[in-house]
Structures are given as C-alpha cells and as structure tokens.
Chains A and B, each alone.
Chain A
Amino acid sequence: MQKDVKRLSLILLFTPFALWILLLIIIPHMGMVVLSLREKVAPRVYEYGLGNYIDFINEPIYWNTLLRTGSMSLLVTVLALLIGFPIAYYIAKIAGNRTRGALFLLCLVPLWVSDLIRAFGWILLLRETGVISSVLQWSGLVHEPIEFLYNDVTVIIGLVYTVILFMIVPLVSTLDGMDNAMIEAGYNLGGSGPTVLRRIIIPYAMPGIVSGCIVVFMLTAGSYLTPILLGGKNSSWFTEQIYDQFITRFNWESGAAFGFLLLVFTSFVVWLGLKITGQTLANTVARS
C-alpha cells in the first residue's frame, strides 16, 4: 500500500518533467535532425543526404561565423568570470550577513526587466545621439557625435552585462559553502594572498566556476537579441545565420542543420572545458 502511494507520487512528480523533456527537447531535436538531412532536389521533391552539412563546410562564411561566435562567447565567458569572481567573493565572504542579502538582491534586480528593454537601454546610452556621445560633446572632449554601437566591443559589453548574473549565482553558492577557517588556515600555514587564492580558494570554487562558465557560454553562444540589437549587421552571430535560413531564405533544411551544428559545437566546447579542468558534469552540478 505504502509502496503504491510512493510509486504514484513519483509518477505524478516525474510526468511533467518527462513531458517537458520529451515534447520540448527530444522531439524538436529529432525533428531537426531529420529535417537537416533532407535535400531539396526539385520543388516538393526531397532526398535524404548530408548536403546541408556539406554546404556548411564548403561555404567559409558559415563556419567562420560559427568560429567567431564560439571565440567571442569564450571571451565573454572569461570576462564574466574575471568580473563576476570578485563580486561573488565579496558577497559570499566579505560582506556582512545583512549586506549579503541586499547585494544579492541588487544583482537580481536587472532580471526583472526584459532583455529587450535592457538592450534598448544600452542603445540609448551608446548611439550617435545617445547619452554618452552627448555628454562628451557637451564637455568639449569631442567635437562631433560618436557612434558607439555596431562594433564587437559593444556586443561583448552587452553580452557580459546580460549573462554575468548567471556566473555570480553559482559562484556565490560555492564560495558560501567554504568555511572561512579554510582561508585562514591557508594564511596561517604561510601562504601569501596570491598563494591562498591560487591554491585554496580557486580549487575549492572550481565546481562553481565550471558550472557558471557552462551556463554563461551556452547562453552567450545561443543568444540572439543582444548581438543583433547592439551589433547590427556587423555582429555576424551564428544564431542570426540560423534565423536567416529559417525566416529570410525560407530554407528550413539548412537552418535545421545549422541549429544542430551549433548544439554539437557548444557541447564539444563544454566537454573540452570539463576535460581541461578535470571536472565532471555531475560533480559540477551537485556542488554549486
């Protein structure tokens, strides 16, 4: 009797999750793989083959865009880590108990506003007639309007800003679990500040660092709105290519192939990152 109740509650709890995975993740991806393997040979005539993938390899602009998206996403991840780590360390280890909550809340506040509005905020600041350009002119530092938008630096700044929270949250939670005595022991046994950081704090925080990096990299590589709005046509983000194939050129087959390639590529980068840092996915998820 008891066992049946347990089983029933397990099934009830598990069903929404299973449906979500099946209907929204597995079926669309299988559909996409099938779609990407179709080639249009004549109107309404299709053949199965690797043509879409061969097209991708033969056209440098496609894989250059993918590599560019990947490398810029890595740069964004590194920057988010470099900026996020001190913030997370301050929140978890230096701030007092009450300030900690307030600071954490402050980090979360920007999430209450949609991506679109935040990107628009950057546009207001950075465009030719925007706040920064106007202030510079008014102060006499420059004599004509400056366009800050539509370049790589702006795209990277915007992306770091959008994703940094997803770096800070796992870092705060791992660092929070670290006993202060461990840092003190690091000093007590003769370690200098940099030694304690390198030998004790960073190794301890590694699961949080890795899980933050995975989330940030995935979000960045798959982001669409920020690169398009802040980078314009110059951004050449891979998601934009996918969008073009699906919507502009109405070439769903090629779009599906690109989408699948993006998934494979980002998964490969994450796998490589895990291998290099010697972490496992399970360990990373469990500890942060």
Chain B
Amino acid sequence: MTTSPAYDLECINVSKNFGPVRAVDDVSFTIPSGSFFSILGPSGCGKTTLMRMIAGFEDPASGDIRIKGKSVIDKAPNKRNVKMVFQHLALFPMMNVYENIAYGLKCNGASKAEIEARVRDVLDRIALPDVAEREIHQLSGGQKQRIAIARCMVLDPDVLLLDEPLGALDLKLREAMKIELKLLQHQFNTTFVYITHDQSEALVMSDHVAIMNQGKFEQIGTPQELYHAPNTSFVAGFVGDSNRWSGRMTVINGDTATVETDAGLTLLCSPAGSIRPEAGQSVEIFVRPEFIHAHRQGTSPAEDAPEAVNQLEGKVDSLLFNGANSRVLVRSSSGQLIEADVTLTGGTDDLRPGEAVRLVWSPQQTMCFRT
C-alpha cells in the first residue's frame, strides 16, 4: 500500500457524466483524519453527485475513491463505512428515535445489550438522553438534526457526509446548529465532509473548504486563504461580498498594476490568482467592502496621503443598516454603485443619504484576476 493512512478520504481524478453533461470533472482531493471539510459551490455544480459517489449511490466514470487508504469503488453502499446525513434527514417515520438509531447496529448484527448500551451512549453524547422513546414527528427541527447525526455516529464511520442538512431550518436555529455541528465534530473526532451552497456555513465550521464550480474544484484551502487569497475570479466573487470592475491592464510594475476600467476609471491593484495577468490583458477587479473607507468630502485625511491609493468620489445613495455589519451604498460619478462598510453609531456624525463622500482603499486590497 503506497497511500498514507493519514487520510480518511481520498478522491483521485474522479469524473462522472450524465449523458453529455460532465457533472464531476477530474476531481482530486485528500482529507486528513479528524478534520471538517466542506465542499462549497453554487447549486448544480456537481457537489451532490460527488457526495453520492463517495457514499456509493453513483458510480464514477473514472478515477478512484479511497477510504482509510482502501479503494471502495467496488463496494456496495451498505458495505462502505461512510455514513450520510441526508438533506431532509430521511429519518424513518415508522420507527421511534431508539429504533432509528438502533437500525444500523441491528443491520451489523450487534447483540441486544450492545445496541442498548451504544444507543444510550450516543444519545448522551448529543445531549438528548430522554428522547429515546419519542416518535420522530414529536421532535423539533434541531433535535431531528442531532438524531440524524447520532444515527450515523453510533456506527463509528470513517467519514460522515452531510448534504446541506441545515437547509430546512430557520435562520436562528441554523446559526445555533452551525456551532453545534462544529462541537459535535470535535467531540466525535470523525472526519466530516459537509456539502453546502451557503458560504457562511462553510467558512464558520470548516478546517478546509473546497470551492466547486461546473464539476471542478477551483480551490482548496482554509477559509482565510479562500477569503483573502483567492486563486480565481470565481472564488473571489463567490466567497464573501465584493465590488467588481472589469477592465484592461495597462501597466504592470512589480506588485502593483494599473488598470483602466471599462467605465474609464484608473485603478491601482495587485495582480492575483494562480495565473497572473499581464499587461494588455482584460482583467476583473475585486474589492471587499470592508477595505473601502468612506469619508465625508473635505474631512478626508487621505486626500494628502503620501502613498498611492485608489480614490473615488461619489454621493451616498443609501445606508444599509445591519448593526455592526452596516454598509453604505455610494453612487460614483460614473454611475456605479459601490458598497463600503461603515460604522453607524446613531450619532450626528453618521453619513446621510445625499452627502458627497470620498472612497479610499489601498492597492494591496484590490485583487485583479485575468478573465
């Protein structure tokens, strides 16, 4: 065996076609033991197909899937030690909580006493010791979620797959479950593979995130890497919010480049991505709202700043109040709307719609990708 058993799950050049559509295109990745790995992508990007292949419900057209170093391609779904939490949980409504959790153990031929002990143990670990005799329809959304996870974890899987299990919950519960899932993963110390289209779920919970688009992995990295150092314009646009411009690169000078945007602006930016853009090429520019500072015109200290910065004048179009995450929408002289983070204290200093402002941001925070 040449593969290192340090990886719980390895996918090697996995592909899958549905007719002429290439749903999963040559995907390779490895997941170290005990980590929380997310696959993030827009709907229809092939992430569910990839997960179904790992679980064994679909056969890959080519490539290999290894669990703890052993290929599982030829194993039936019920012989793989990969358990799955389904999107709508798929708890069995005709069984109560105890029977739901005991089902997998019974299939493995465990003794009655062992089943009893392990079901009680897993219920304790998910902090729901008293629900064993309840029917599924008597549980709340969050409890169902935890039972679905317990039903898998009681079997000690090598990998737990989760297919957007938070999708059906309301916002408040979803926020709470994000933290809970992360804690459960720590507690069981099992590799979790989490599939989602919701970037905040992926960023908050994961050790590593893979961004998937049109059947391919665009980038794999820690949440910070993906946010601050995206490899492609898709990742930059998909993860987090951004202001975007498209244009043509005119001059490149080391780490700084000058770009002429389609609207006629000249911006300083830093070339980014795995394939760096060159002078003369068309590029896309991304700037995160939190790196743009909005100053009331005339009071800006940046007007005589020594370093080279990007500056733009405009008028406050509207304020988007959202507590600590408040934003201001500024209409620039060219007519584009630009989002910038602001602090709204509720005092008289706050920006108001219609005021003239100057937007300032540094070239280092201006990512520019080849298109």
Interface residues of A (CB under 8 A from B): 179, 181-182, 184-192, 195, 199-200, 203-204, 206
Contacts and interface: CB of A to CB of B under 8 A. Distances in A.
A189 B107 contact: yes
A93 to B, nearest CB: 14
20 contacts: A179-B90, A181-B86, A181-B87, A181-B88, A181-B90, A182-B90, A184-B77, A184-B90, A185-B90, A187-B56, A187-B57, A187-B77, A188-B83, A188-B84, A189-B83, A190-B78, A190-B155, A192-B107, A203-B92, A204-B93
Contacts of A204: 92-94
B268 interface: no
A189 B104 contact: yes
Given A179-B88, A190-B104, 13 more contacts: A181-B88, A184-B84, A186-B103, A187-B76, A187-B77, A187-B78, A188-B83, A188-B84, A192-B107, A195-B107, A199-B106, A200-B92, A204-B92
B210 interface: no
Contacts of A203: 92, 94-95
B73 interface: no
A189 B155 CA distance: 8
B283 interface: no
Given A184-B77, A190-B107, A192-B107, A206 B86 contact: no
B360 interface: no
Contact of A189 (B57, B88, B94, B103): B103
B259 interface: no
B90 A191 contact: no
B107 A185 contact: no
Nearest to A188: B84
Given A190-B155, A192-B78, A185 B86 contact: yes
A188 B77 contact: yes
Contact of A188 (B78, B88, B92, B106): B78
B315 interface: no
Given A179-B88, A189-B151, A204-B93, A184 B103 contact: no
Contacts of B78: 187-192
A191 B87 contact: no
A129 B88 CA distance: 59
A226 B102 CA distance: 48
Interface string B160-179: 00000000000000000000
Contacts of B76: 187
Contact of B57 (A182, A184, A199, A200): A184
B368 interface: no
A185 B84 contact: yes
